[in-house]
Structures are given as C-alpha cells and as structure tokens.
Amino acid sequence: MTNPTAAMIVIGDEILSGRTRDANMFNLAGKLSVHGINLLEVRVISDKSSEIIAAVNATRAKYDHVFTSGGIGPTHDDITADCIAAAFNVQIGIRDDAKNILATNYENGIEDLTPARLRMARIPDGAHLIENMISKAPGFSMENVHVMAGVPSVFNCMIDWLLPKLKKGAEMISSSIRVDLPESHIAEPLGVIANKFPDVSIGSYPFYEENKHGANIVIRSTKSALISAVESEVRAAFKLQ
Amino acid sequence: MTNPTAAMIVIGDEILSGRTRDANMFNLAGKLSVHGINLLEVRVISDKSSEIIAAVNATRAKYDHVFTSGGIGPTHDDITADCIAAAFNVQIGIRDDAKNILATNYENGIEDLTPARLRMARIPDGAHLIENMISKAPGFSMENVHVMAGVPSVFNCMIDWLLPKLKKGAEMISSSIRVDLPESHIAEPLGVIANKFPDVSIGSYPFYEENKHGANIVIRSTKSALISAVESEVRAAFKLQ
C-alpha cells in the first residue's frame, strides 16, 4: 500500500512580505504525517487570482489532496473561493446551508447577515462544507481541494474536523540519532547504509553548537522493523551505544 | 521603477515531514523586503532530483532571482548542486577555488579533503561562489539562481554576504493598524478604501483574542505618502485616534 499524497497552498501576502511567520504549514505537516498522508510540496503564493488558479490546477492534478489556507474571510482581499470556482470551471453563489450556519454566529441570525458577512457563504457549486467550530464561517472541499481559513486556530480546528474523514495511510514513523561528528565524517558510512535500504528515507541534518559540528540522522519509514535495522547500522557505524 | 522579483525554493524533506519548522523562509522574506526585492512565491519540495530541477526551471524563467536553501552538504541526500547543473544543462566538477576555501577549514588543509568533503567543492560550470563565514563550504550563484545551505545560521550569513551585491529596489514600507471590530464590519469600508488606492497593498488579518474579534489592517507600499493617506482614511472610517 502506498500512502495518499498531498500538497499545500498557503495564500498569504503577509508571509511573503516577511511580516508574519507561517504556522499552518508546520501544523499541517505534523498532522498529515500521523494520518499517513505524504505531504510532497508546499507553495506559498500571493493573493493574486491568476496565481491561485494556476497553483490549484497544477497541484490538484498531481496529488491526491490539496490543502489551502487563507483568503476565505469577508474582505476585498479574500478571493480564494472565487479562484477555486474558476479553477474547477463551476459557478459560485451564496448557499443556504452555509448561510444558515453563518447566521448562528449573530444575535439576530439571518437578519444580521450584511453583504460582507454573506461573502463568507459563497461556496462553489458541488463543494462540501468544512466545519468551523471557532467562528462558524465554513471552509469547503471541492473534489480533492480542501479550502480552509488562514487564522491558525481556525485552520487547525478545520483540519481536525476534516482529517478523520480522509482515508488514512500508514503512519510515517521517524527516529532521530544525534552524531557528534562533522557531517563530512558521517557522509560515507551513511551513504553505504542508505544504499542498502533504498526504501527508507535517511536524512542528515547538520548543526553547529558552541563551535562543535554534529548532525541529526533522521530515519523515516512506515515500517518500524526497517527503522530498527537502520538504527542498528547507524549506531554500529558511529560506535554509539 | 518596479522592484526586482524573487522566488524561494526550500529543499527539505524534514520540513514536509513536519519534523522541523522552517526558519529560512521567514528570514529571507524579511531581508528581501528591506532590500526592495519582491518575494512572490515560495516552494517547499522534497529532495528528489526531478522535483528540484522542475522547480528551478519554472521559477528562474519567471522571476529575477531564485534563492534556494538546503542540500549542499557532503552526504548522499545533498543533491542540489547536481540538480542545478542539470537544470542549466552545464557540467559540474570539483573546482579549485572552492577546494582551496574548503581546505582552510581543516588542520592539514588539502590533505584533509576526503571524498565526502570534496563533494562540497563540486560547483556547476560558470557559477560564482557565495561566501560562508561559518563553515567555509561555499554556496554559489548560477545566473539568477542563488544556492545556499539549509542550516539557518549558514543560510543567513550567506544571504547577508550576497544581498548587498544584488540590485536594490525601493524598500517596501508597511504600517499596521489594529481595529477591534469583527472583520465583517471592517470589510465594506476597507473595500472602498482599497478601490481608491489600487497601487497600495491593503490586507486584513483577523484575530481572535479572549473571545473578541479584531483584525490588523496592513498597508504596504514603497511610497510613505501613500501609506499615510491610506492610514488617515482607515482611522477615519473606524473612528480611531
């Protein structure tokens, strides 16, 4: 069995401008890893419709799932829903189910839905709503594209609602071994081990601490027996306990 | 004058797997913003050569600069330099200048350059070296593609060396105004202001704090007079001091 694959599209001028450090990518990557969905690509793009449409179409054809964050609020720069409709060549309009959910957020219900608020009930035809337990305004899944808010607390609660509904793969297990040697001493023995285990992902991540060189060897696989086998070889190669 | 444009390619299985939270994107975005280079896209991809080559070729044709991070160390998973050579269809080999720089890092100089260490002196034909004051092993610029290490301290020092050599644009200035109203109250007046100033980037970033809704209105432009004009309109629209 191979795991489902995924890409993420972060729609965020505020990240490209350096104003905000993205949090959603790190959170999604961790959750997908546990769920057994392999995140293979992330794109951070500006909120320009041609860029959003092109990124959605490029990734939805290539991966089993595409997760987007950002651009589904009520303001002029919230254009993600329209771009998804354009990418899929479907109509978009205010949908009653989304409108009714949104209304529960306001004192006078439907009456309080100003035109700005109603923008958040505009859903591309054929999409399924994603629940938002924090501020009600729903996200949606259009085929394999899952559209979520950019505010990290809302993004996380939408992902937590959505993920159990997506087919699980085998959880990617990882193990990290710290080697206090410069990477150039590690490279050759590690290359030999990597060649011996082509199905295990073996990465070397160097660090510098107090002028000392070292690296974390990260071993990743869905099979714990393979991880143990590689761990033993790494420990033997570098004379670790 | 329009600012130069840029993309970043983060080569990093460790980020896609959720093990590590990327730091280089946030650092680069901030530095480029000050230098007047507009970062328009970031791609995080796995260390698979076909993906690296495709991402480099797609972005170098589209943007003035491409900055890459990761994959230039001595181990088996460090394949970035080879991928750059393949993307540009040039040869790659051990270069004397890179070898001599590398040798300064070791007690016995050139004699200490094992095959693994020599991997870090492999530079695509025609590239210019980027200095690494921390651990010597250089990065390089191949035309408009700037290839740097993934370790954040090394990445930052390479960027600090490189940026003064790249043509400056107008610094992007930004101003942030906090509005303690739900975004749905902000949307319409803000849309009117955004329409009035099409050359100013005006973003609205909602937050939820202690069950209260608000948003930060971020105004960005290279012209401080335009920012002041938008600030005045935003303050007037939301009756702020």
Distance CA B126, CA B140 (A): 10
Contact A18 B41 (CB under 8 A): no
Nearest-by-CA chain B residue for A211? B134
Question: Structural domains in chain A?
Answer: 5-165 (3.40.980.10), 173-237 (3.30.70.2860)
Mind listing the pLDDT tens digit for each residue in A25-81? 999 999 999 999 999 999 999 989 999 999 999 999 999 999 999 999 998 889 999
Q: Which amino acid is at A159?
A: I
Mean pLDDT of A105-112: 88
Contact A172 B40 (CB under 8 A): no
Mind listing the pLDDT tens digit for each residue in A192-231? 999 999 989 998 888 877 778 889 999 999 899 999 999 9
Label residue B227 left, alpha or beta by phi (over 0 means left) and psi (-120 to 50 means alpha): alpha
pLDDT value at position B223? Answer: 92
The total number of residues shown for chain B amounts to 241
Contact B13 A203 (CB under 8 A): yes
Is there a contact between A222 and A174 (Cβ–Cβ < 8 Å)? no
Task: Please give the distance of CA A13 from its chain centroid, rounded to a whole number.
Answer: 18
DSSP string, A129-173: EE--TTT---EEEETTEEEE-SSHHHHHHHHHHHGGGSPP-PPPE
Question: Angle at Cα A76 formed by Cα A73 and Cα A81, nearest 5°?
Answer: 50
CA distances from B227 to A12, B42, B175, B233 (A): 20, 26, 7, 10
Q: What ipTM does this complex have?
A: 0.90
Q: How many CB atoms lie within 10 A of CB A166?
A: 18
Q: Is B121 helix (H, G, I), strand (E, B) or coil?
A: coil
The answer, yes or no, to whether residue B1 has pLDDT greater than 70, is no
The answer, yes or no, to whether residue A1 has pLDDT greater than 70, is no
Mind listing the pLDDT tens digit for each residue in B147-181? 999 999 999 999 999 999 999 999 888 899 999 99
Query: Count of CB contacts below 8 A, A vs B?
Result: 190
Q: b or e along A142-159 (b: 16 or more beta carbons within 10 Å of the residue's beta carbon)? A: bebbbbbbbbeebbbbbb
B193 CB burial (10 A radius; 0-12, 13-18, 19+): buried
Best residue in A25, A51, A184 for a mutation probing chain B (most B CBs within 10 Å):
A184
Question: Angle at Cα B235 formed by Cα B230 and Cα B239, nearest 5°?
Answer: 155
The two structure tokens encoding residue A80 = 């993600």
